[in-house]
């Protein structure tokens, strides 16, 4: 598995080829290329996860494809604005959902504990937490640490990227919730 980078970004422009009409595909591709920096900005600003820009763009291009199908004569500027608007709206929705998902700490905090240059005690705690994860979640943490996108991880697992991401966050939330409860810590193992 190779980390995503410039080549990975170039491959994602095939998103725009979803309408089935060559002229509409070219217009949608141009709108997607124009909106890509905005998707990166929204992914970082709202979600603090640049890899999510690909998911935001997928959602926006799918929406733009439907829009261009319903309004084939819309101006290119309006199509570009629509794609950017959908990106921002989706980023805000995901950010709001993410803020409700984990009430007992951040997954990024757990990942940084596990792989950051912290003191010995924190590394021991991080290793204990890491050991309580399922083998699938452990491999996902490892891949994410290496910089792989959710989409690439899911591709290697022959699964949908949203299913992989949701299952991972659900397991992390469950672990964090179990650890925040007083009493027997063996329940989270």
Q: Rounded to whole angstroms, what are the CA distances from 102 to 89, 111, 171, 172? A: 21, 14, 11, 8
Each residue's pLDDT expressed in tens, for the chain with a length of 189 residues? 444 444 444 444 455 455 677 888 888 888 988 999 999 999 988 888 888 888 898 899 889 888 988 998 999 999 999 999 999 999 999 888 876 644 444 555 555 545 544 567 767 777 777 888 888 888 888 888 788 888 888 888 888 888 888 888 888 888 877 777 766 555 444
């Amino acid at each position: 598995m190779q980390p995503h980078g410039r080549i990975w970004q170039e491959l994602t422009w095939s998103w725009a080829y979803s309408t089935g009409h060559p002229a509409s595909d070219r217009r949608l591709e141009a709108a997607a290329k124009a909106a890509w920096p905005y998707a990166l900005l929204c992914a970082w600003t709202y979600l603090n996860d640049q890899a999510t820009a690909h998911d935001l763009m997928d959602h926006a291009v799918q929406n733009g494809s439907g829009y261009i199908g319903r309004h084939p004569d819309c101006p290119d500027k309006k199509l570009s604005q629509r794609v950017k608007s959908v990106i921002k709206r989706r980023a805000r929705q995901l950010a709001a959902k993410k803020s409700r998902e984990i009430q007992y700490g951040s997954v990024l905090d757990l990942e940084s504990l596990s792989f950051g240059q912290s003191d010995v005690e924190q590394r021991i705690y991080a290793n204990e937490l890491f050991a309580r994860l399922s083998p699938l979640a452990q491999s996902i943490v490892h891949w994410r640490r290496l910089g792989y996108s959710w989409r690439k991880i899911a591709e290697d697992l022959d699964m949908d990227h949203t299913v992989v991401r949701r299952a991972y966050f659900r397991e992390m939330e469950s672990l964090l919730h179990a650890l925040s409860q007083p009493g027997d810590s063996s329940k989270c193992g």
